[in-house]
């Protein structure tokens, strides 16, 4: 199944169909014609309207929902990571060395060995690997190992040599080189200091981009995702080639899912000036389209690079200096994109960074224009009540990393921000109470694509150790489902096209092995995805494709 026509007609029936159109609506049948929902209602009427050759999708008791929309994810970086050494499961620096060595032994001398997704907090040593650690892998291969957050990385001595980075190299404006006593970089890189090295990697080709994007897409559809929004086009090192691949997905049907992209600010400027495919992609915008300009205003809490109003829990260092841009700079970027009529997304985890972003949006957002463009705050992890009030007032959108509670909740509570702030991280219910529309995301490859874990965690606030963290911020399963579908569509100005099963919308559907509204919220994360339909066409079928057609 390499060409996806999105043009078949099919009739879905035989189990609960939650349309997400409003609070309670359920339908007996959904008819999709030419990729678009033609009818929602009774099975009898759907059958009457169906063309003769309509495929009959029989749920046999399974549950259908609008396809999941990952409102903030990184298919380009993920596709690339799939080809690197995955260090997610390493529990010591020795584990990392062993994993990378296996790859180095199979790699010609002098070529780069690339690894990803190590987590310093899960290593016995509780630190980042240094160049000396990575020199144990190989001194003949340059090595670049990305942290799970992508906001830090580690390199070996050979990589420093190739990049010409020495004790005399100053820190770049948007990053930092960790150093030994005499000033020699120790191999640990913070924020975008990694660019000093990524620019020496072999230039990716257009074929690489397409292959990686397609490989990533296959994983999204297997998780029930029908639309993935790339939250930082240009960050995976492909530059305008990333834009070319995304634009090509609008022109030709080679991707099995729908793509939207937020373009990192420097790449957006390049495209605006006419590089690559520019900013007008034509083709079929429902397959792939540019959506927004992406900015970053801090890093991540688990790396200690988020900008907080109060110090981190286990250290007294003033964390406010972690803002990436001075306020005037951030404002000028926001103003530039806003004036050009573009939606702006800004990454902000800490409350100090969130203040900065709200202030920037408030400045440009006179006369309700911020509301009209739906400027967004990405992650918005430590937003407090007063900030949520302002977000609601300005009509901003938020994409929350709800499964963060599961992935990092225990460590946030015990190490990084303490029990009080951790119980309020990702404040979904406080946002819902104020009428803020939000989506949920896994930020893949930071964590695996798992919308059902996001929904589960939003409803339970359980951490991976099984403890509940901040019951007051749970939302109902129904609201979590809405965040994963209709409200994620809203965040991309696409709520009239997708996000619910209603006449005239795209026939994007996920079929689940159990009904998330019937099982206990903690069980939701274990529900299997049985099938994924994009425009009525099955793009993913579990277990070799059996079982959904009559």
Per-state percent for the chain, helix, strand, coil, to nearest 5: 35, 25, 40
The three-class DSSP label of residue 467 is: coil
Distance CA 129, CA 186 (A): 9
Distance CA 140, CA 156 (A): 10
Q: Closest CB to Zn ion among 118 and 345? A: 345
DSSP assigned state of 124: T
Q: Closest CB to Zn ion among 236 and 481? A: 236
The span of 35-43, 228-236, 300-308, 380-388 binding Zn ion (CB under 5 A) equals 228-236
CB of 264 to Zn ion, least distance (A): 11
Near Zn ion by CB under 5 A: residue from 242, 443, 508, 530: 443
Q: Which residues contact 345 (CB under 8 A, 6 or more apart)?
A: 72, 231, 262, 292, 293, 294, 295, 375, 376, 377, 378, 399
CB of 404 to Zn ion, least distance (A): 12
Distance CA 244, CA 232 (A): 14
Closest CA to 484 of 531, 507, 450: 450
Distance CA 399, CA 120 (A): 26
CB of 238 to Zn ion, least distance (A): 16
Q: Is 548 in the site for Zn ion (CB under 5 A)?
A: no
Q: Closest CB to Zn ion among 73 and 286? A: 73
The span of 136-144, 157-165, 192-200, 223-231 binding Zn ion (CB under 5 A) equals 223-231
Burial class (CB in 10 A: 0-12, 13-18, 19+), 95: middle
Distance CA 303, CA 357 (A): 20
Q: Closest CB to Zn ion among 163 and 259? A: 259
**What are the beta bridge partners of residue 18?**
26
Tokens describing residue 338: 């806003």
Q: Is 487 in the site for Zn ion (CB under 5 A)?
A: no
Angle among Cα 439, 442, 445 to the nearest 5 degrees reads 145
Q: Is 330 in the site for Zn ion (CB under 5 A)?
A: no
Site size for Zn ion (CB under 5 A) = 2
What mask of x and - would describe binding to Zn ion in positions 251 to 280, judged by CB under 5 A? ------------------------------
Scanning residues 115 to 174, which ones bind Zn ion (CB under 5 A)? none
CB of 346 to Zn ion, least distance (A): 12
CB of 443 to Zn ion, least distance (A): 4
Closest CA to 226 of 494, 521, 478: 494
Q: Closest CB to Zn ion among 93 and 267? A: 267
- Count of C-beta atoms within a 10 Å radius of residue 520: 10
Distance CA 444, CA 77 (A): 8
The span of 245-253, 324-332, 369-377, 441-449 binding Zn ion (CB under 5 A) equals 441-449
The span of 127-135, 284-292, 435-443, 479-487 binding Zn ion (CB under 5 A) equals 435-443
Distance CA 549, CA 539 (A): 14
Q: Is 398 in the site for Zn ion (CB under 5 A)?
A: no
The span of 154-162, 229-237, 243-251, 537-545 binding Zn ion (CB under 5 A) equals 229-237
DSSP assigned state of 164: T
CB of 347 to Zn ion, least distance (A): 7
CB of 72 to Zn ion, least distance (A): 6
- For the chain, what's the residue count? 550
The span of 255-263, 354-362, 363-371, 439-447 binding Zn ion (CB under 5 A) equals 439-447
Distance CA 178, CA 169 (A): 11
CB of 535 to Zn ion, least distance (A): 27
Is it true that the peptide bond before 461 is cis, omega within 30 degrees of 0?
no
Tokens describing residue 547: 């079982």
Q: Closest CB to Zn ion among 242 and 443? A: 443
Near Zn ion by CB under 5 A: residue from 231, 245, 449, 501: 231
The span of 320-328, 331-339, 442-450, 511-519 binding Zn ion (CB under 5 A) equals 442-450
Q: Closest CB to Zn ion among 351 and 443? A: 443
Scanning residues 459 to 478, which ones bind Zn ion (CB under 5 A)? none
The span of 224-232, 326-334, 355-363, 467-475 binding Zn ion (CB under 5 A) equals 224-232
The string of DSSP codes covering 435-449 is: T--EEE--TTTTS--
Q: Is 230 in the site for Zn ion (CB under 5 A)?
A: no
CB of 150 to Zn ion, least distance (A): 8
The span of 43-51, 180-188, 436-444, 530-538 binding Zn ion (CB under 5 A) equals 436-444
Closest CA to 510 of 468, 467, 460, 452: 452
Q: Closest CB to Zn ion among 445 and 535? A: 445
Distance CA 78, CA 237 (A): 12
CB of 73 to Zn ion, least distance (A): 7
CB of 42 to Zn ion, least distance (A): 43
CB of 232 to Zn ion, least distance (A): 6
The span of 102-110, 166-174, 440-448, 465-473 binding Zn ion (CB under 5 A) equals 440-448
Distance CA 251, CA 267 (A): 21
Task: Output the CA–CA distances (angstroms, integers) from residue 292 to 74, 319, 395, in the order listed.
Answer: 14, 29, 16
Q: Closest CB to Zn ion among 72 and 525? A: 72
CB-CB contact of 248 with 210 (8 Å): yes
The three-class DSSP label of residue 195 is: helix
The residues binding Zn ion (CB under 5 A) are 231, 443
């Amino acid at each position: 199944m390499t060409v996806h026509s999105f043009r078949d007609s099919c009739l879905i029936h035989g189990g609960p169909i939650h349309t997400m159109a409003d609070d309670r609506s359920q339908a007996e049948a959904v008819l999709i014609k030419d990729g678009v929902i033609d009818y929602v209602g009774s099975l009898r009427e759907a059958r009457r309207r169906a063309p003769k050759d309509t495929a009959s999708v029989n749920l046999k008791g399974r549950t259908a929902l609008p396809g999941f929309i990952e409102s903030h994810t990184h298919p380009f970086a993920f596709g690339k990571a799939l080809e690197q050494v995955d260090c997610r499961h390493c529990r010591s620096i020795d584990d990392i060395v062993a994993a990378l060595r296996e790859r180095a032994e199979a790699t010609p001398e002098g070529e780069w060995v690339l690894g990803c997704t190590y987590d310093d907090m899960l290593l016995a040593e509780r630190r980042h690997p240094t160049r000396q650690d990575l020199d144990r892998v190989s001194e003949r291969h340059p090595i670049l190992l990305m942290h799970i957050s992508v906001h830090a990385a580690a390199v070996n001595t050979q990589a420093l040599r190739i990049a010409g980075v020495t004790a005399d190299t100053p820190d770049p404006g948007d990053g930092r080189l960790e150093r030994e006593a005499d000033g020699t970089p120790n191999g640990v890189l913070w924020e975008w200091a990694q660019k000093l090295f990524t620019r020496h990697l072999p230039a990716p080709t257009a074929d690489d981009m397409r292959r990686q994007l397609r490989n990533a897409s296959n994983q999204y559809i297997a998780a029930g995702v029908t639309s993935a929004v790339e939250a930082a086009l240009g960050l995976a090192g492909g530059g305008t080639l990333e834009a070319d691949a995304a634009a090509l997905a609008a022109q030709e049907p080679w991707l099995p899912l729908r793509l939207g992209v937020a373009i990192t600010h420097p790449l957006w400027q390049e495209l605006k000036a006419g590089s690559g495919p520019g900013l007008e992609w034509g083709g079929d915008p429902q397959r792939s389209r540019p959506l927004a300009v992406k900015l970053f205003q801090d890093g991540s809490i688990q790396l200690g690079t988020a900008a907080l109003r109060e110090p981190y829990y286990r250290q007294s260092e003033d964390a406010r200096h972690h803002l990436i841009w001075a306020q005037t700079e951030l404002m000028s970027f926001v103003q530039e994109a806003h004036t050009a009529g573009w939606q702006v997304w800004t990454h902000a985890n800490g409350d100090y960074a969130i203040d900065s972003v709200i202030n920037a949006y408030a400045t440009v957002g006179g006369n309700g224009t911020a509301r009209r463009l739906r400027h967004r705050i990405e992650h918005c992890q430590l937003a407090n009540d007063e900030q949520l009030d302002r977000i609601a007032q300005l009509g901003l959108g938020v994409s929350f990393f709800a499964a963060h509670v599961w992935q990092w909740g225990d460590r946030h509570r015990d190490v990084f921000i303490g029990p009080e702030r951790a119980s309020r991280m990702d404040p979904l219910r406080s946002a819902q109470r104020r009428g803020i529309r939000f989506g949920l995301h896994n930020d893949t490859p930071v964590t695996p694509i798992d919308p059902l874990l996001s929904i589960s965690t939003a409803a339970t606030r359980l951490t991976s150790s099984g403890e509940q963290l901040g019951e007051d911020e749970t939302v109902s399963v129904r609201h979590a489902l809405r965040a994963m579908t209709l409200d994620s569509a809203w965040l991309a100005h696409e709520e009239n096209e997708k996000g619910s099963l209603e006449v005239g919308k795209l026939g994007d559907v996920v079929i689940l092995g159990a009904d998330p509204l019937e099982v206990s919220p903690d069980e939701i994360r274990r529900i299997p995805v049985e099938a994924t339909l994009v425009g009525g066409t099955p793009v993913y079928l579990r277990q070799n494709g059996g079982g959904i057609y009559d």
